[in-house]
């Protein structure tokens, strides 16, 4: 496959990168590694897409894998003569600590825009969890990519602190408020959404743990926001 590039975001010391590259080779030998220049992936994805010499780009993080089935589906799509889509969303299997596929709690199908035709790519907003801006129709693939997340509890907490600090910055600049009532509302609201409304309890113990953790993460965002608002207020006195 000479008309597609695998674009992988990775830290320089990431132990996952070898297996990720191996999986991408099921599809193509054209592989570009991009390394972080900030705390979020979105800042370098656009650079990587522009570096690619092929029409199509498949975007992965180091803790993600493609399967043989997904590779074959992508090959078939990009070889079609009458191509009607500028990009595709791919369903993602979120697998907790490489042991448990989370089917509930809002974790599946978790569509991600990861297959892009460069001709129609516009930009990738430099905001956490943003999606690429593409001029044209977006299709949906059938076969999923695999996401091995939350493999190390200590690193998981460190990563959460980084991401939620960034989220709190966005809320701070939007002049959002944070107080005790909001802390409880965000925690129990997210817990209810993940665990009950999205049936996270059906994933068993891991589903319950992950639902609680997501509620914790949401609350941490507003704790950070509270601290930033307080510092700002003290400075203005």
Span 69-113, pLDDT tens digits = 999 999 999 988 778 899 999 999 999 988 999 999 999 999 999
Question: Do residues 23 and 139 share a domain?
Answer: yes
Full residue range of the structural domain in which residue 16 is found: 4-149
Question: Do residues 178 and 94 share a domain?
Answer: no
Write the CATH number for 50: 3.90.550.10
Domain end point (choices 122, 149, 176) = 149
Q: Please tell me whether the peptide bond between 109 and the residue prior to it is cis, using omega within 30 degrees of 0.
A: yes
Domain end point (choices 133, 149, 165) = 149
Across-strand partners of 4?
Answer: 56
Using CA atoms, how far apart are residues 229 and 172, in angstroms rounded to an integer? 7
Q: How many domains does the chain have?
A: 2
pLDDT tens digits for range 112-121: 999 999 999 9
C-alpha distance from residue 162 to each of 30, 40, 155, 156, 157 (Å): 31, 9, 11, 10, 9
Question: Do residues 124 and 179 share a domain?
Answer: no
Domain end point (choices 79, 114, 149) = 149
Question: Do residues 59 and 144 share a domain?
Answer: yes
Q: Is the model's pTM score more than 0.85?
A: yes
């Amino acid at each position: 496959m000479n008309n597609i590039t695998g674009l992988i975001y990775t830290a320089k010391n990431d132990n996952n990168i070898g297996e990720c590259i191996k999986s991408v080779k099921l599809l193509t030998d054209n592989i570009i590694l991009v390394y972080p220049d900030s705390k979020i992936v979105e800042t370098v994805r656009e650079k990587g897409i522009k570096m690619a010499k092929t029409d199509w780009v498949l975007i992965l993080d180091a803790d993600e894998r493609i399967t043989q089935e997904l590779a074959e589906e992508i090959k078939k799509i990009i070889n079609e003569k009458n191509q009607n889509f500028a990009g595709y969303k791919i369903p993602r299997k979120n697998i907790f600590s490489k042991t448990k596929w989370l089917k509930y709690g809002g974790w599946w199908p978790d569509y991600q825009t990861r297959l892009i035709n460069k001709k129609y790519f516009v930009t990738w907003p430099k905001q956490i969890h943003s999606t690429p801006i593409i001029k044209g129709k977006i299709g949906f693939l059938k076969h999923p990519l695999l996401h091995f997340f939350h493999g190390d509890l200590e690193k998981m907490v460190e990563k959460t602190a980084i991401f939620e600090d960034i989220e709190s910055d966005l809320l701070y600049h939007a002049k959002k408020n944070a107080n005790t009532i909001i802390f409880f509302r965000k925690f129990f609201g997210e817990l209810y959404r993940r665990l009950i409304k999205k049936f996270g309890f059906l994933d068993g113990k891991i589903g319950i743990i992950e639902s609680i953790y997501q509620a914790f993460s949401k609350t941490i965002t507003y704790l950070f926001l509270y601290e930033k608002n307080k510092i700002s207020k003290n400075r203005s006195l």
